[in-house]
Structure 1
Amino acid sequence: MQRTAFLTCLLTVSLMNQVCGLETVTGKYGDTVEIPCNSGLVSDVGVTFVKWKSDKDGSILVKHTGQNASSPTDGNYKNRVSIKKDFGLIITQVSLADQKTFTCMVVAADDILEYPVQLVIYKTPLQPQIANLTTAMEIGKLTTLAQCHTEGANPAANITWFKNKTPLIADGTAIKITNDVAVDKATGLSATTSKLEYTAVKDDINSKFTCQVQHIKSANMDSSPLVFTVNYPSETISFHVLPDGPVKEGDNVTLKCTADGNPPPSRYNFYIKGEKKTVEKSNIFILSNVTRQNTGEYKCSLVDNEILTASKNITVEYLDVILSTTGEVFKKLGDSFETTLDIKASGKTETFCKKGGEKMVGPPKFASLKYTDSGVYECVVTMLGLKKTQTFDLNVHGQPLIKSLTKKRGDGTNKILSCEAEGSPKPTVQWITNGTDVKFQESEHVNGKITYYITVSPKANVTVSCTISNDLGSDTRSIDVSSLVEDVTMDKQDQSEDYSDQTALAVGIVVGLMLAALLIGLAYWLYMKKFRQGSWKTGEKEDGSAEESKKLEENQSQKAEV
């Protein structure tokens, strides 16, 4: 600090000398400096002798008119000084030892003149270097963070500390800054060291500290930013349940305890249904395959400070579904059938049942079972991500029944017989063909229906029987099958018989109508005859002649015939 004050004072004196007429020249350490004689205004006319001297070294350089300049001694300036045409002094590789007053003495024909010049040497400092760096600081505790060092300066450099680009002001308590300036005995250059002691607060987390080297002859130079770990005890604690959202039976649940201290605590207590569990080097506790019995309050605390706790309630959602009918179910055709769902859940559920891709409202219910009701039924109940599925396979069984037995012509002399049937389980078929060659086929058994086919080639009349059977019974039908020629004849006979039947029906209708008319006429005649007899009984005179009565009777007879 004294050295810095001295150099600053020296520069100030130099400026004052300038004001007073003393010329000052500034040179950079290690460079070549030119010191003018009377500011370069000396004329060589009439000058016979020029000598440069210093207040410490005496004569440095002498030049007589018409002769080369020479150094009178073998001192510090030998081989480092020279003189210009205008009598200016040139000094190479200047150092702090050259920081003095040089005088140019000029001898003219009738006068001796002296022109003193002050030479000031400066050198810019090196980049700042950080030393004795700590890694962490504790809240409320004064800690030596680092030392900032620069060297090789003249005058000595100044160092300022910054936090987040704001200068730090030493207060002697929370912030202490100690600066030290050392001068190299060999070079005379100064080294400046600044030590920062700092009391951290919580807001210093992620703060950036820098030191800045300041010098009157160079731009400010900053160190790399320093970030320190700020250690502080835990003040708050939080409790987390993972995964976030509803907890369901069968889930694995992670309990996580987090404290805000730095470094973070490595030991925690977990309270599981009232029982304390201590974990080391971890902050989690896992509940595996939870059930509804795991519902309740959970909490955690620090091992070193059990007063600091956090808690959370956990509700384990559950879903129980019981279907009254399960597995494979066998029912008879026409029976009633109903199944029910017994649901126990911790929340609102949604239910649907389906057979194949067809949904239905509620569990299946049938008043009278049909074969088409057979199939696999699935009932699904969901709640908050839980899903339970119950299934059963309904089989509607019934005694086999032949619905029809038909025949039709095939190729050539072949006849194709179809035996259409219903029944479940799938009936087996037996054809009785009286030795006729046959080919068997059958359709798929769908919804209790199946059709059996045979192809026969009868050479004469045959009777073919279709018998189907399963565990519940059997049914048989027969059909007459003839050769192809006889079938044609029979077809013609069938047509003739049909025509005769139609003719007989028409004749019957006509005869019926005639009989009805006759009965009506007879009834009318009897009525009129009775009417006339009644008139005779009263003795009334009958109107009209016998001829008219005869005509009347003829008319009535005609109506009766109609």
Structure 2
Amino acid sequence: MCSVQSFLGVAVTLLCCCVFLQNPSESGMMIKKLKGKPFEVLAKDGYSSRVSMMDNGSMFLEALTLEDQKVFICMLVTLQGLLERHVKVVVHKDPTNLELLEQAAELEIGKLAKIGQCNAIDANPAANITWFKNNKTLSHDGEGIVIDDSVQVHAVTGLSTTSSTLRYSAGKGDADASFTCGTLDLAGQPRVSLPVTFTITYPTENVSLKVLSEGVLLEGDNVTLRCVADGNPAPTTFNFFIKGEVKNVVDSDSYTMTNINRDATGEYKCSLAEKPSLEASINLTVSYLNVDLSPSEEVVKKAGDTLVVALKVDSSGDHKVSWTKDNGLLKADQVPTFKNLTYSDAGVYEGQVTLGPLRRVVSFQLVVEGAPVITLLTKRLGEDGRHKVLTCEAEGYPKPTITWSVNGTWLEETPYINGKVSQKITVVPSANLTVYCTVSNQFSQQIQSINVSSLFEEVRMDKQDQSDNGDQTKLAIGIVAGLLLVGVIVGLAYWIYM
């Protein structure tokens, strides 16, 4: 049996030579054609205006109605006998509307509740409705998902309206879930209702206490505590336990402490006002770092004295200390100690104490003063051999002034570093002389001398040394030659004797 499907109100063509209704007596329509004669349609008023025949024997039926949904029989009488063909006509109509009604206001977790009713109106055949959650099909399981379908046929039009009711047991994960219902049209294309979401309500089971302030808590900060409950709707009345006191908060889940100090360190709690057994706690630590240095300003000491440096640190945790002198990092992280001060100890000392993001810097300047002392007095011949270079080095504070007892040519003076300074001059002595170097500052002075020989006498001595060296060379050569001669004579005598 062939099947022809079409939509309500449109025309359809049934292919055959002769066509009869399945029960002509009931429909009152018959189409016949005798050989050599035109088609003749015998039909009631319901078909007479809608039925026509084509030359090839096909029947053309206009404006399909639901009453046309039946089996037509095509019969052909030939010499060989009676030929018969059945053609089933199916009339389709998609729903005129798909609506989701009677939606729930909210869902309570764990309880089976009606999500809504989905209606597919005026369809033929009756529409099949499918439910979706987040675009995934929901299937009836009789427990957490219950789907009830019903179909009503309109008494006049004969069209069917399908109603499907979904009852669903929601969980916490359904808070943002989207529910829809849908059907498929004759072409297999989905038709889906507008999505709906629901508020999921459930009681509070857990409470947590959080600190809204970021980073390390410091003295002087403001701290906000927030009590978070996992119920929906969220509770709005809480008790905060602040250092032995109960603070009741209404229409809020937070409590703020202002200008805290180190005494705020400790345990804090919160609970539901309506259910005190649900509580949470948290420990707060207020960080602080106080540093005291002695001495903390400029300190003046004498060379050889002792200086005691004391660093006191009051902190909320383990801290780190580093020291620098004149911006140079000292090897040891310990407080500098001075048992026998020298001029090189003078400088600016800076101590840095850190505790996490906290940083404190303290410093003092050490001045070591005293009478100047000559530490080096030397002489040497210049590279060109035409002058003498004298060097005088001294240490002391304030900076020593260096003077000479001769009029020489000033060559250079080194920078004054760590209490030391040196000066060089050049002289051209024409005779042996004694040169004095004097160093002085506001405390005292010191004088040392050095003997400097005549530059010309040294030249004569050099020549004499060269002459003496020549004579000594000649003498050595003569001795060597004599020894060789004696050796030859002794050897000759021995040969003659033998």
Same fold (TM over 0.5): yes
Q: How does 1:403-442 map to 2 (within 5 A)?
A: 403-408=375-380, 416-430=389-403, 433=406, 436=407, 438-439=409-410, 441-442=412-413
Structure 2: distance between partners of 1:107 and 1:373: 135
Q: Please give the per-residue CA displacement for 1:475-534, whole angstroms capped at 9, x wherever unaligned.
A: 34466879xxx53137758999xxxxxxxxxxxxxxxxxxxxxxxxxxxxxxxxxxxxxx
Q: Please give the per-residue CA displacement for 1:304-344, whole angstroms capped at 9, x wherever unaligned.
A: 76664322232334444433332333222112233233344
Q: CA separation of 1:158/1:369 partners in 2, compared to 1, >3 Å: closer, same or farther? A: same
**1:443 paired to 2:411:** no
Q: How far does residue 423 in structure 1 lie from its aligned partner after superposition?
A: 0.8
Give 1:365's match in structure 2, choosing from 316, 324, 337.
Answer: 337
Q: Please give the per-residue CA displacement for 1:83-110, whole angstroms capped at 9, x wherever unaligned.
A: 467866443553313235657788999x
2:303 is aligned to 333
2:247 is aligned to 276
Answer yes or no: is the 8 Å Cα contact 2:14–2:58 preserved in 1: yes
Answer yes or no: is the 8 Å Cα contact 1:352–1:379 preserved in 2: yes
Give 2:456's match in structure 1, choosing from 483, 488, 504.
Answer: 488
Structure 1: distance between partners of 2:92 and 2:21: 29
Q: Match for 2:337: what amino acid?
A: K
Q: CA separation of 1:375/1:285 partners in 2, compared to 1, >3 Å: closer, same or farther? A: farther
Answer yes or no: is the 8 Å Cα contact 2:14–2:87 preserved in 1: no
Structure 1: distance between partners of 2:379 and 2:432: 14
SS of 2:344's partner is helix
Structure 1: distance between partners of 2:21 and 2:393: 146
Structure 2: distance between partners of 1:429 and 1:327: 31
- Which residues of structure 2 form unaligned runs of 5+? 465-498
**1:232 paired to 2:202:** yes
SS of 1:193's partner is strand
Structure 2: distance between partners of 1:135 and 1:183: 31
2:484 is aligned to none
Answer yes or no: is the 8 Å Cα contact 1:51–1:63 preserved in 2: no
Q: How far does residue 146 in structure 1 lie from its aligned partner after superposition?
A: 3.3
SS of 1:97's partner is helix
Q: CA separation of 1:303/1:33 partners in 2, compared to 1, >3 Å: closer, same or farther? A: farther
Give 2:364's match in structure 1, choosing from 380, 384, 392.
Answer: 392
Answer yes or no: is the 8 Å Cα contact 1:60–1:73 preserved in 2: yes
Structure 2: distance between partners of 1:361 and 1:24: 101
Which has the larger helix fraction? 1
Q: CA separation of 1:319/1:27 partners in 2, compared to 1, >3 Å: closer, same or farther? A: closer
Identity of aligned residues (%): 38
Q: CA separation of 1:461/1:349 partners in 2, compared to 1, >3 Å: closer, same or farther? A: same
Detail structure 1 runs of 4+ shifted over 6 Å in the superposition. Answer: 50-53, 103-109, 113-118, 217-220, 243-246, 303-307, 457-464, 479-482, 493-496
Q: CA separation of 1:127/1:378 partners in 2, compared to 1, >3 Å: closer, same or farther? A: farther
Answer yes or no: is the 8 Å Cα contact 2:386–2:455 preserved in 1: no
Q: CA separation of 1:489/1:211 partners in 2, compared to 1, >3 Å: closer, same or farther? A: same
Q: How far does residue 387 in structure 1 lie from its aligned partner after superposition?
A: 5.2
Structure 1: distance between partners of 2:155 and 2:295: 102
Q: Please give the per-residue CA displacement for 1:147-167, whole angstroms capped at 9, x wherever unaligned.
A: 323245322124354666442
Structure 1: distance between partners of 2:392 and 2:105: 98
Give 1:32's match in structure 2, choosing from 6, 12, 31.
Answer: 12
Q: CA separation of 1:366/1:76 partners in 2, compared to 1, >3 Å: closer, same or farther? A: same
Q: How far does residue 239 in structure 1 lie from its aligned partner after superposition?
A: 0.7
Q: CA separation of 1:184/1:476 partners in 2, compared to 1, >3 Å: closer, same or farther? A: farther
Q: CA separation of 1:332/1:494 partners in 2, compared to 1, >3 Å: closer, same or farther? A: farther
Structure 2: distance between partners of 1:51 and 1:261: 68
SS of 2:33's partner is strand
1:534 is aligned to none
Rg (Cα) greater in structure? 1
Q: Match for 2:51: what amino acid?
A: V
Structure 2: distance between partners of 1:491 and 1:412: 9
**1:155 paired to 2:125:** yes
Q: How far does residue 401 in structure 1 lie from its aligned partner after superposition?
A: 1.6
Give 1:121's match in structure 2, choosing from 61, 81, 90.
Answer: 90
Q: Please give the per-residue CA displacement for 1:194-226, whole angstroms capped at 9, x wherever unaligned.
A: 3445564546445564535489x8869584776
1:535 is aligned to none
Moved more, 324-333 or 385-394: 385-394
Structure 2: distance between partners of 1:407 and 1:106: 148
2:154 is aligned to 183
Structure 2: distance between partners of 1:59 and 1:360: 118
TM-score, with structure 1 as normaliser: 0.62
Corresponding pairs, count: 453
Q: Please give the per-residue CA displacement for 1:362-388, whole angstroms capped at 9, x wherever unaligned.
A: 322233222233334444555566555
Moved more, 218-227 or 285-294: 218-227
Structure 2: distance between partners of 1:214 and 1:91: 27
Q: Match for 1:397: what amino acid?
A: E
SS of 2:416's partner is coil
- Which residues of structure 1 form unaligned runs of 5+? 1-22, 41-49, 497-562
Structure 2: distance between partners of 1:104 and 1:404: 139
Structure 2: distance between partners of 1:331 and 1:495: 56
Answer yes or no: is the 8 Å Cα contact 2:291–2:313 preserved in 1: yes
Q: How far does residue 238 in structure 1 lie from its aligned partner after superposition?
A: 0.6
Give 1:81's match in structure 2, choosing from 51, 73, 76.
Answer: 51
Structure 2: distance between partners of 1:461 and 1:432: 14
Structure 2: distance between partners of 1:366 and 1:444: 25
SS of 2:423's partner is strand
Answer yes or no: is the 8 Å Cα contact 1:126–1:152 preserved in 2: yes
Give 1:193's match in structure 2, choosing from 163, 169, 173.
Answer: 163
Q: Match for 1:131: what amino acid?
A: L
1:374 is aligned to 346
SS of 2:181's partner is strand
TM-score, with structure 2 as normaliser: 0.69
SS of 2:129's partner is strand
Answer yes or no: is the 8 Å Cα contact 1:128–1:212 preserved in 2: no
SS of 1:234's partner is coil
